[in-house]
Amino acid sequence: MMTVSSATPCVIQLRGTDCQILPNFSLADQTSYRVGGQAQWYAAPRSWEALQATFEWFQTQDMPLMLLGAGSNLLISDRGIDGLVLSTRFLRHRGFDAETGRITVAAGEPIASIAWQAAKRGWRGLEWAVGIPGTVGGAVVMNAGAHHQCTADCLISAVVLSPDGTKETLTPKDLNYSYRKSSLQGQSKLVLEATFQLEMGFSRQEIMQITQQNLQQRKSSQPYDKPSCGSVFRNPTPHAAGWLIEQLGLKGYRIGDAEISQRHANFILNCGQAKAQDIFRLIRHVQEQVESHWSLLLEPEVKILGEFSPLEV
């Protein structure tokens, strides 16, 4: 199953595959924030066979598992992550059924790319996803959405893999979807692929135009020039988190090189050499200020992983 050449941490080559399990792997370049420490072990399989071999190795270990897609909605501690970090970003395939309007895609496919491919066919239903920076797997887990639409609106099913190797197909009802939430959050089940039902028979030009307009709207209202995780907080209906933060005059507020965006107050930017701890402290500061003034506790949309020091100044 694996070959290990010494007792010290070393690269583990999974037999019969081109997949390696790497020790002490830096995660900073694997997240859109460009911060974070090392993974104790890291794997990024490129095939189902390599993925299965990785899970077989994991089952022989006594360690936690963290699943990583595009890393666009994560804040990873500077202290790193214990156990195995498994990335799905290289698990890719896509299939478009021209008779039914169904799309089946692997978890590692960028959801924005799938949105464009659907628009080019004149298929309606994913125009909202054109500016989402994550993968299909991440969209399924987070019930990603924009422009008053979300993953749950067009998802038919998702195939997931449990750490014990069990596969199951889940429907949106099984996933218990709500605003930016699903039953997969907090679990170690890995999304392998997802199937979406889109509407056919529309003008290609019309759907392309709507998709382009959605992208331009996001670019004009959100900062894309510096590393971020996108929206940091879930919107506490009926309020917008960004509006609440802006009313407190927090745009431009900084801790270290972490800054609340001047363009959109629900974005925290890495303005150069920010540490994960700086971003974490800024998140907590915003929560404290909003709770003090509005009696609302903002819930992070960004997934915070690893150990942080909330009282550290």
As averages over each run of 10 residues, the pLDDT of the chain (313 residues) reads: 48 84 95 96 92 90 90 94 94 94 96 95 95 92 92 96 88 94 88 96 93 90 89 92 97 97 96 96 97 95 89 49
**Residue 231 annotated in active site:** yes
CA distance 80 to 38: 4
Report residue 238 as tokens: 């009926």
Select which of 109, 127, 193, 301 is catalytic. 301
Select which of 231, 259, 261, 281 is catalytic. 231
Query: What is residue 3's predicted lDDT score, i.e. its pLDDT?
Result: 38
Virtual CA dihedral for 153, 216, 230, 289, nearest 10 degrees? Answer: -100
pTM summary value: 0.86
- Beta-carbon contacts of 182 under 8 Å, excluding residues fewer than 6 positions away, are 140, 141, 142, 143, 175, 176
Select which of 89, 180, 218, 281 is catalytic. 180
Domains of the chain and any CATH numbers: 2-87 (3.30.43.10), 94-221 (3.30.465.10), 241-305 (3.90.78.10)
Other Cβ atoms within 10 Å of 147 Cβ, number: 15
DSSP secondary structure letters along 213-243:
HHHHHHHHHS--SS---S--B---TTS-HHH
Query: What is residue 311's predicted lDDT score, i.e. its pLDDT?
Result: 58
Query: What is residue 178's predicted lDDT score, i.e. its pLDDT?
Result: 92
CA distance 230 to 10: 35
Query: What is residue 7's predicted lDDT score, i.e. its pLDDT?
Result: 44
β pairing state of 81-87 and 38-43: parallel
**Residue 127 annotated in active site:** no
